[in-house]
Structure formats: structure tokens, C-alpha cells
Amino acid sequence: MPAIIILCSLGLLFGVGLFIASRVFKVYVDPRVVSVEHVLPGANCGACGLAGCSSFAKAIVHGSAEITGCIPGGEAVAHLVADIMGVEAKTVEKDVAVMMCHGRDVQDRFEYDGIKTCAAANLIHGGPKECSVGCIGYGDCAAACSFDAIHMVDGFPVVDESKCTACGKCVAVCPKRLFKTLPVAKLVHVGCVNCESGKLVRRYCKAGCIGCKKCETSCKFDAIHVVNNLAVIDYEKCVSCGICAKECPTGAIFSQREVRKAAGLWPVKKSKEAQAQQ
């Protein structure tokens, strides 16, 4: 009997104590922070530049972060956040990560015996591949992607563009800097970064740019030029017509038109505000 009384009074005492503490030590949290955090994707990927979704929510309410700062969330999230904060949201164009190397079948010039990550292999003579500036293939990009959008197929990365949120992790992690995030409307890209002469490139990579300039001569918009044996696209001028990709003899230049059409990513649907503006 005395034990029951003691335990009950202890319970009562602690309950009252906790109640008082929850009042006295209460931290005021703006309710908007909770609502904003609720609509964010919750992946804590860091693309906004902050430590995680809750930090980003606090920063938005505080006013130190852009409403459109959540890149993976894209337009949908930007609108929801704008509604909570009671402001107009600018339209956000979906970006996508593109891999600027097509050298799937490049052979090794030596047997690499070290830590099997791209970052580590890059320290040893630029990696074991014959092409010293192209993809090494150990999958640091796939490991870094928190949206499961990159998969290694036969030792070569493939981007699943419908899952890709352009958070930029792959861009930062690739030691050869082969990834770029570009608007989804830009369909044509050069899948090679090798500046060596075409004769040398041809020896080890069938899909590399040989600097033949067929693209440059066929472009009607002055948007592609061969600089240092490598074709480079000026995205300001490029309209994604795809002619250079058709002319390219090695397939180094490619167009994502069919892939993105099939995935429903292209043509880009304009948001209601943009349509209303027109």
C-alpha cells in the first residue's frame, strides 16, 4: 500500500513538473516554419545550400532564403511555399543533370589497384582509362545521388531524368567534372570533354569528339563551335533543333528529345501564371 501511494504521488509530481516546464521553457516557433517544413520534400539533400529541410524552412520564414530555393521541389513546392508565405512565386524551370561523356567502351591502359572510387582513382595518373579526362566508372555519382536517379549500367552512369531534381550532388562529386545541370528545354549536348586531336581520340574512344567541325558548319544559329579540338555549345544561342547531333559522325553530340518526350518532361508545360501573362 505505501508503495502504491509513493509511486502515484511521484507520478503526479513529475506530471505537474513537466507541465510547468513546458509552459515556462516554451520556445516560440513561428507556425509558418512548421507548415513550410511540411511541404518540403524532406530529403535533406542540401541543394538549397543549407543544412537540411528544417533549416531551409526557418530561413524562408526568416527571410534569408529564396522561396524558390528548393531545387528538387521545383515549381510545385515553390508554389506551396509561396502560398504559405502569402507572396507571388516566380516560375521555376526544371533543371536536369546531364553527363557530358559518352565513352562507354573506353579500355583501361593499366590495371588499377587501389581504392575503387572515382575520386581515389583520379589521383593515380587521372584514372585507369585510356581517355584521361573521361568517365572512370566507379560510381561516385550514383553513390552521391540521394534521389536514386543515377545508376551504373556496365560501369557507366545513366541518369534517370524523371527522378533527377538537379540538386547538384553529382556535379560536385565527379572528379572529372562531367556533370552539368541544365534546363530541361535544352535538349542537345556534347558528350565529350576531350581536347586532344581527333586522330588520338579515335584510337581509344569511338564516341569522342574528333573536332571535324561538321557541327559548326551545319548550325544555323552560330551556337556551336569547335575550340581546341572540342565542340562547345553556347546555350544562350542554342534552340535545340538537333541538326548538329544528326551531322555528328561519331555520335559525340546527342539530343535528349526522344528520351524526354517519352518521359513526359518535354515539351515543358508552362505554369498557369506564365500562361496568364501571355
User: What's 129's DSSP letter?
Assistant: B
Q: Whole-angstrom Cα distance, residue 165 to residue 44?
A: 13
Residue (106 or 219) nearer to another protein, CB: 106
Which residues ranging from 218 to 237 are in contact with another protein (CB under 8 A)?
none
- For residue 224, list its beta bridge partners: 233
Q: Would you count residue 134 as binding another protein (CB under 8 A)?
A: no
In which region does residue 174 sit, left (phi positive, over 0), alpha (psi from -120 to 50) or beta (all else)? beta
CA-to-CA dists, residue 39 to 30, 54, 78, 90, 253, angstroms: 15, 11, 9, 17, 39
Q: Would you count residue 123 as binding another protein (CB under 8 A)?
A: yes
**Which of these ranges, 52-60, 124-132, 242-250, 263-271, lies near another protein under the rule CB under 8 A?**
124-132
Binder of another protein out of 22, 28, 63, 113 (CB under 8 A):
113
Q: Whole-angstrom Cα distance, residue 214 to residue 256?
A: 20
Q: How many residues does the chain have?
A: 278
Residue 197 Cβ, how far from another protein at the closest point, in Å? 11
Binding characters for another protein, 243-262, by CB under 8 A (x = yes): --------------------
Binder of another protein out of 46, 52, 74, 126 (CB under 8 A):
126
Q: Binding residues for another protein, per CB under 8 A?
A: 108-115, 117, 119-120, 123-126, 128, 132
